């Protein structure tokens, strides 16, 4: 198959992506293909470069080399807002909300661009019914209706996490990146979050970084394992569970002292 054809078929396609910070190569040539509509988990030991990879895909950092394509369109090293407007949305590991706006306002701001209001200062925002309804809808989906007017900075951690996801999906992007969505959550909070995630990503493409294996095996259609900036294995949960390479990566280098 032609390179161009391959890229056209996937929601997200990374070809030989590399990222260097100074002298250190964090991402060592990653090839990854995410099929549209699939739920894909990215796992790997700490420091493997998962968040960096997310940052490269979403435009937070430019790549050192390689290419990234979203639904066939090249998005390599583009500005984050450009990538977002093409249909990719991401959440953050550390809550990245608008602390001084209300929960409702957080969600409303997330849909303004998508609904075409751009930089308009001629319309009263309270009159924009579609923005209001869209925000209400998201509000319900993430279960924060009774927190509607609360300042986002005053929510509990788990509520902020939910809002974080809400902001990410509010604009209706087709490709969603979630960076450790259940980080810091208790067992019961995680279950709620998993249920939320699977609901809101219905029919969308999901790529998520996760450490909680329970979550991964619950949600993911396919898993990729990132170690030292390279994808060492990619397949269904069952395949990954069996893979010797993965076992080595998680257990081998830690136990064997002379293997650097």
Partner 1 sequence: MERAFNKSRLILWSSVALLFVLLPFVFPGGFALSILSQLGIAIIFALSYNMLLGQTGLLSFGHAVYFGLGAFVTAHAINFVESGVFGLPISFMPLVGGLAGLVFSLILGFVTTRRPGTPFAMISLGIAEMVAASALMFTTFFGGEGGIVTNRTAGGAVWGISYGPQVQVYYLIAVWCFISMALMFVITRTPLGRIANAVRDNPERTQFVGYNPTRVRWIMMSLAGFFAGIGGALTTINYEIITAESLGLMASGNVVLMAFIGGIGQFWGPIIGAVLVTFLQSFLSNFTQAWLLYFGLLFLLIILFSPGGISSIITIHAPVWRAGVMKRLLPSYMFALWAGFVTLVGIIGVIELLYRGTLVVGVHVAVTWVFAGLLVLVGAFFLRRAIRAVAQVWADLTPELARWS
* Interface ranges with partner 1 (CB under 8 A): 58-60, 79-81, 84-85, 89-90, 92, 96-101, 105, 108-114, 117-128, 131, 167-168, 170-171
For partner 1, the closer of residues 123 and 241 by Cβ is: 123
User: Least separation, in Å, of the C-beta of 113 and partner 1?
Assistant: 3
For partner 1, the closer of residues 15 and 101 by Cβ is: 101
User: Least separation, in Å, of the C-beta of 127 and partner 1?
Assistant: 6
DSSP states along 187-213: HHHHHHHHHHHHHHTTTSEEEEE---H
**Do 179 and 92 touch, CB atoms closer than 8 A?**
yes
User: Least separation, in Å, of the C-beta of 236 and partner 1?
Assistant: 30
For partner 1, the closer of residues 59 and 229 by Cβ is: 59
Which distant-in-sequence residues (6+ apart) come within 8 Å of 71 by Cβ?
11, 36, 86, 87, 174, 175
For partner 1, the closer of residues 125 and 183 by Cβ is: 125
User: Least separation, in Å, of the C-beta of 154 and partner 1?
Assistant: 10
Which distant-in-sequence residues (6+ apart) come within 8 Å of 34 by Cβ?
10, 11, 12, 13, 40, 175, 205, 207
Neighbours of 131 (CB within 10 A): 21
For partner 1, the closer of residues 100 and 199 by Cβ is: 100
**Do 56 and 49 touch, CB atoms closer than 8 A?**
no
**Do 141 and 166 touch, CB atoms closer than 8 A?**
yes
**Do 130 and 175 touch, CB atoms closer than 8 A?**
no
User: Least separation, in Å, of the C-beta of 112 and partner 1?
Assistant: 5
Residue 191 to residues 35, 71, 205, 216, 257, Cα–Cα distance (Å):
26, 31, 21, 12, 37
For partner 1, the closer of residues 87 and 229 by Cβ is: 87
User: Least separation, in Å, of the C-beta of 134 and partner 1?
Assistant: 12
For partner 1, the closer of residues 63 and 112 by Cβ is: 112
**Do 84 and 110 touch, CB atoms closer than 8 A?**
no
Partners of 231 in the beta sheet?
226
Torsion, Cα 88 38 67 114, to 10 degrees, reads: -10
User: Least separation, in Å, of the C-beta of 37 and partner 1?
Assistant: 22
């Amino acid at each position: 198959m032609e390179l161009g054809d391959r890229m056209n078929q996937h929601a997200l396609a990374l070809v030989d992506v590399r990222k260097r910070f100074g002298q250190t190569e964090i991402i060592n040539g990653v090839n990854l293909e995410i099929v549209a509509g699939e739920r894909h988990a990215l796992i790997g030991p700490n420091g493997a470069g998962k968040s960096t990879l997310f940052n490269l895909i979403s435009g937070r950092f430019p790549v050192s080399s390689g290419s990234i394509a979203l639904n066939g369109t090249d998005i390599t090293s583009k500005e984050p807002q450009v990538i977002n407007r093409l249909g990719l949305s991401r959440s953050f590991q550390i809550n990245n909300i608008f602390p001084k706006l209300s929960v409702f306002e957080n969600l409303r701001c997330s849909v303004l661009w998508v609904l075409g209001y751009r930089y308009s200062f001629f319309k009263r925002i309270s009159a924009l019914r579609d923005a209001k309804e869209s925000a209400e809808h998201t509000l319900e989906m993430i279960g924060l209706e009774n927190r509607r007017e609360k300042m986002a900075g005053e929510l509990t951690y788990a509520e902020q996490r939910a809002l974080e996801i809400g902001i990410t999906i509010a604009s209706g992007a087709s490709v969603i990146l979630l960076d450790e969505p259940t980080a810091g959550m208790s067992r019961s909070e995680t279950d709620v979050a998993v249920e939320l995630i699977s609901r809101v990503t219905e029919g969308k493409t999901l790529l998520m970084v996760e450490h909680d294996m329970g979550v991964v095996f619950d949600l993911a259609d396919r898993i990729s394992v990132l170690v030292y900036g390279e994808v060492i294995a990619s397949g269904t949960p069952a395949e990954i569970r069996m893979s010797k390479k993965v076992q080595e990566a998680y257990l081998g280098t830690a136990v064997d002292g002379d293997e650097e």
